[in-house]
Chain A
């Protein structure tokens, strides 16, 4: 080392730096090694990293609101919820146009369910409104057509909107474009053959009454502008309120406004029992708080399970490592036997054993340890989950412990005893510290497995013994609130990583051995 420092980099025989030469020589080997692992790498990328990444992305992604209600969310930007009043007519007009498109594209129910996670009732509100929205603005259509039947002609509309000067009517253009797009993509029709929706007439009315400069457009438009002043206005707010009073409620609008950005921390706030408000967040009402309790319960129960596994598994692993070969093999088969049985069968077996009229209760009652009318509640609660999960995860503790214990030569214990240590001191001071890496590996395995366990708590956990993963599964498969499920999952992931980091700091990850 020292002479390289003195004479510069070491050179290979051909005069090139030795390092470069070595790299070149090893490149082929590395490439071949890469090729060997490439299939697995791709497999993991495609089936693991990408889906999980996408899933986690859902925990913050919230484009559905601004995608479905682009005009409304834009208009709502200026609305101030603290006034305590629902927004003005232009917002309702924008909502009408957005809903018209959404209904045609059948997106309003999805948006309804999305917002229903935040405020109950929104889902049915959207569904109800969706059925009636195509009538809104009909008054304007009638008045334009009465003025000049040309306004009924699809071709006239198409030509008008194709006119470069139509940019003077921005809202109309926007509404017509939305109409044309939807007609083409949803119905496969030609906009030149279909009369525009009422929302297009509504927009035209809005543009004209806003005083658009229509000088370079066909004369019909100017005529309409003059006549529009006398048009009878349609009360959109009343129309919406007529469908459902909730449209006048500040809460409804507040929900839409709060969730209009493309990304939200709402799911994460929900996942920790908080809710989003216009100015930050607040705790959910007491009776709606469940997730923090579940997280804490998951942690405590996982720790209990891990600890039980250590207690039960350590002696077994010790026996495995120290019995003669024949007996050790038999014992090993017994340890592995559960792996050969279906998880469901094992869990259901616990149900049979632990229930009130089950084997264990019958025995303790028969023995007179508990009264017949005071049977132990061993299942459908946390006790049941801990018992069943300890049993199911025990092999994951025993195997790493065994493989570490196998490498501890018996001569250490003998040496300790020859040095004057009693059996206990020899075990505690000499054997146990050397088996700690096995305990570490086993605990990490068991803890991480149990923190994400789902089937067993679902079957034997009742309400008091379920984990956060059961809630995640519920949101994935029943409530379809994938964003919240993703947020809960992401929090769980972070917690596990934090624990792992803490473990590394306290025990040291080098101190984890799965064998040898």
Chain B
């Protein structure tokens, strides 16, 4: 929705660090500001510190250093139950000894809200997730998707402004996951709540979020809207982690404004745009998306560098063709082409030449 940060930050991490054992930092110098109403996803491999960040925000972990602010107020020393943050857990954490309605009215009861108010709010929250008919059931009598909906309703029923979600769809099958992704984003935007969503599923991150923070090694590697993240990764980790990616290694030979020439380790020369290489002679990992690789010479710019490639494998995937090539000494260079009537189907053993637009090829850190 928005990637500008002129709104006053609603959630703010400032120089936050976290260590469990006093020897290793799980979160290293985290700085993050979220405007109200944003849907932000923390994406990263396991152990990257994303869940720790979420737990610090929820109040279940204390920051070793730094400050976390909610709506301008430092919450470092506020216990979890006073933060008023809704949370959806990975395993739903619905209380098994209570019915659905009791689960939902629990946060209202501890807030001492009157009975009639409570019932009304519970039914409204169940309505939001289309689960009104299940009020009297026990969580164990519900399917995974239904439980997830209830967990969501429970996190929303006391009308928090900030909702945290810790891999909420991790245990569901693909189809259900997609439906719920859609429902969660719609609901979040309708209610105007701010959401911090943790996942290790990049598709989920890309489809749901306003912005995605890619975590690795206790740091945010890149914080950007999904399209920017995919098309303009700032470093090789992000390029590798988001979507499929071909990597070629080499040395920067020449930088000319916003293009550069890279000499690969195999001796081949290619065009790229310099992203985080600064000087001639830097080692670099060149990243190129499979669908941006061209093997039809007519579509390439004049004078573009090309590489020789041998087709190793051709996989028919329905909507696309996936072809594995041997390029510049690597066996796992992949290209994807749309299944269109005029599309060429390559055959294994075929020798072709491939190339790309210089702006699709990004020279990143080594």
Contacts and interface: CB of A to CB of B under 8 A. Distances in A.
A325 to B, nearest CB: 15
Interface string B153-190: 01100100000100000000000000000000000000
B96 A434 contact: yes
Interface residues on B, range: 20 to 34
Interface residues of A, number: 19
A305 B110 CA distance: 35
A211 interface: no
Contacts, number: 68
A188 interface: no
B58 interface: yes
Given A420-B111, A421-B106, A422-B81, A414 B158 contact: no
Nearest to A431: B95
A418 B106 contact: no
B155 to A, nearest CB: 8
Nearest to B58: A418
Given A429-B106, A434-B96, A434-B97, A418 B91 contact: no
B144 interface: no
B93 A420 contact: no
B204 to A, nearest CB: 20
A420 B97 contact: no
Contact of B80 (A409, A411, A414, A425): A414
A339 interface: no
Interface in B56-103: 58-60, 79-87, 89-91, 93-97
Nearest to B151: A415
Contacts of A409: 91, 93
B171 to A, nearest CB: 13
A417 B89 CA distance: 12
A49 to B, nearest CB: 38
Contacts of B91: 409, 411
Contacts of B58: 414, 418
Interface in A396-413: 409, 411-412
B208 to A, nearest CB: 21
B77 to A, nearest CB: 15
B87 A418 contact: yes
A411 B155 CA distance: 14
A153 B83 CA distance: 114
Interface in A130-149: none
* Interface SS, A side: helix
Contacts of B89: 411, 414-415
A36 interface: no
A412 B81 contact: no
Interface string A413-443: 0111111111101100110011000000000
A421 B87 contact: no
Contact of A418 (B86, B96, B97): B86
A417 B84 CA distance: 10
A411 B111 contact: no
B95 A430 contact: yes
A412 B79 CA distance: 16
A429 B95 CA distance: 9
Contacts of B79: 417, 423
B49 interface: no
Given A414-B89, A415-B87, A415-B89, A421 B95 contact: no
B107 interface: yes
B110 A412 contact: no
Contact of A417 (B80, B86, B155): B80
A417 B80 CA distance: 6
Given A417-B80, A418-B86, A421-B110, A412 B93 contact: yes
B58 to A, nearest CB: 6
Contact of A425 (B85, B110, B164): B110
B166 to A, nearest CB: 9
A433 B87 contact: no
B54 to A, nearest CB: 11
B111 to A, nearest CB: 6
Contacts of A414: 58, 60, 80, 87, 89, 93
24 contacts: A411-B89, A412-B95, A414-B60, A414-B80, A415-B89, A415-B95, A416-B106, A417-B79, A418-B59, A418-B85, A418-B86, A418-B87, A418-B164, A419-B110, A419-B158, A420-B107, A420-B110, A421-B106, A421-B107, A425-B110, A429-B106, A430-B95, A433-B97, A434-B97
Interface of A: 409, 411-412, 414-423, 425-426, 429-430, 433-434
Q: What are the 7 A-B residue pairs with the smallest beta carbon separation, nearest first?
A: A419-B107, A415-B93, A418-B87, A417-B80, A411-B93, A433-B97, A421-B110
Given A409-B91, A411-B90, 7 more contacts: A419-B154, A420-B84, A420-B111, A421-B110, A423-B79, A423-B81, A434-B96
